[in-house]
Amino acid sequence: MNKVKFIYNPYAGENTIASDLDTIIMIHQKYDYTIVPYRICNEYPIADAFNGIDKNYKYILIAGGDGTIDTVVNEMKKRNIDLPIAIIPAGTANDFANYIGMPHDVHDACNQILESRVKEVDLGKINDKYFLNVASTGLFTDISQNMDTNLKNTIGKLAYYVKGIEQLPNFRKLKIKVSSEEVFFDGDMYLMLVFNGQTAGNLKFAYNAKVDDGLLDVIIIKAGVMKNILSIFVKMLRNEHLENIEGIVYFKTNKLEIECFEDIVTDIDGERGPDFPLTITCEKAGLSILGSKIK
């Protein structure tokens, strides 16, 4: 018997995934798979989702946003569960699912997953936690952690931008030290992003990043004259080259160390990350996925 563990967050996005459960089961039955669902909730830990996993399970299907996916992947790594994952985009932020070309229609997503081949992708690791899409620190990084859930679910990704605009008056220089084989930066910055994927808030900042090259794309927006910030963001949004742009440090690496003594947090795909100091590495081919449109 071929089984699929289906882990879903009923509160993700617009809270519609539960109504799609029959569609998910029906399509998998056509391909001779049995769906074994697990509903994420406060009463039961995510670890319980993997009880009873055996050789009959062929992959892990996840419905939720980037934070849900990270939580599942971290638990799989902790338990040494080596199964492919597949994603049904159901959260407010679906950056990684969008990057690999997953449709938001559940019927289309399931068919794309079941007709695909396994692809190996890289994983980022920040201290002892894994991330699929982006790790960040500096300004804006606590937006999704402190945002009202109702606001986020009501107006979606627009909520991130609304909260970001609210923070503009609070811009301050943040002292940070970043060390890698490629670059050493010891100075003031506003924001730092470390990408395994390409987007944050569905905006393609790391247009040149590849999820299977064994490297992370690092973007540091240096502190400076405030009037330069908007022009830098415009260049990033236009997918213009980030190399040699005044105000930006951009490089690729498979390992970097970060020290910071400011009162700021780190963020992993919308969830609270570890405290400083940080060691961030790229685990090449650290995860297998289904449904990807990336060649």
93, 116, 139 - which closes a domain:
116
Question: For tokens 């931008």, what's the residue?
Answer: 161
Same domain, 144 and 277: yes
Does residue 143 form part of some domain? Answer: yes
Which residue in 295, 289, 287, 246 sits closest to 77, CA to CA? 287
Does residue 231 form part of some domain? Answer: yes
Same domain, 228 and 172: yes
Same domain, 104 and 199: no
116, 148, 170 - which closes a domain:
116
Does 17 have pLDDT greater than 80? yes
Same domain, 10 and 93: yes
116, 150, 172 - which closes a domain:
116
**Upper half-sphere CA count for residue 15 (Cβ side, 13 Å):** 6
| Best-predicted range by mean pLDDT (27-31, 147-151, 170-174, 224-228) | 27-31
- Please tell me the predicted confidence (pLDDT) of residue 10: 85
Does residue 289 form part of some domain? Answer: no
- CATH assignment of the domain containing 65: 3.40.50.10330
Q: What is the DSSP string of 68-123?
A: HHHHHHHHHHHTT----EEEEE-SS--HHHHHTT--SSHHHHHHHHHT---EEEEE
Does residue 292 form part of some domain? Answer: no
The whole-angstrom separation of Cα 150 and Cα 163 is 14
Same domain, 154 and 250: yes
Does residue 135 form part of some domain? Answer: yes
In tens, the pLDDT along 69-94 reads 999 999 999 999 999 999 999 877 79
Same domain, 100 and 153: no
The whole-angstrom separation of Cα 226 and Cα 32 is 58
Same domain, 196 and 277: yes
Does residue 122 form part of some domain? Answer: no
Does residue 227 form part of some domain? Answer: yes
Same domain, 280 and 141: yes
Same domain, 136 and 268: yes
Does 165 have pLDDT greater than 70? no
- Backbone phi and psi for residue 202, each to the nearest 5 degrees, phi listed first: 65, 20
In tens, the pLDDT along 188-219 reads 998 899 999 998 877 788 888 999 999 999 99
Does residue 85 form part of some domain? Answer: yes
Cβ distance 176 to 258 under 8 Å? yes
pTM (two decimals): 0.88
pLDDT > 90: what percent of the chain? 62
Same domain, 233 and 270: yes
Same domain, 80 and 190: no
Q: What is the DSSP string of 225-244?
A: -THHHHHHHHHHHTT---TT
Residues 6+ apart with CB under 8 A from 81: 50, 53, 60
Same domain, 99 and 135: no
In tens, the pLDDT along 175-195 reads 999 999 999 999 999 889 999
Which residue in 135, 280, 117 sits closest to 195, CA to CA? 135
Tokens of 95: 């950056």
Range of the domain at 244: 129-284
User: What is the domain count for the chain?
Assistant: 2
- CATH assignment of the domain containing 145: 2.60.200.40
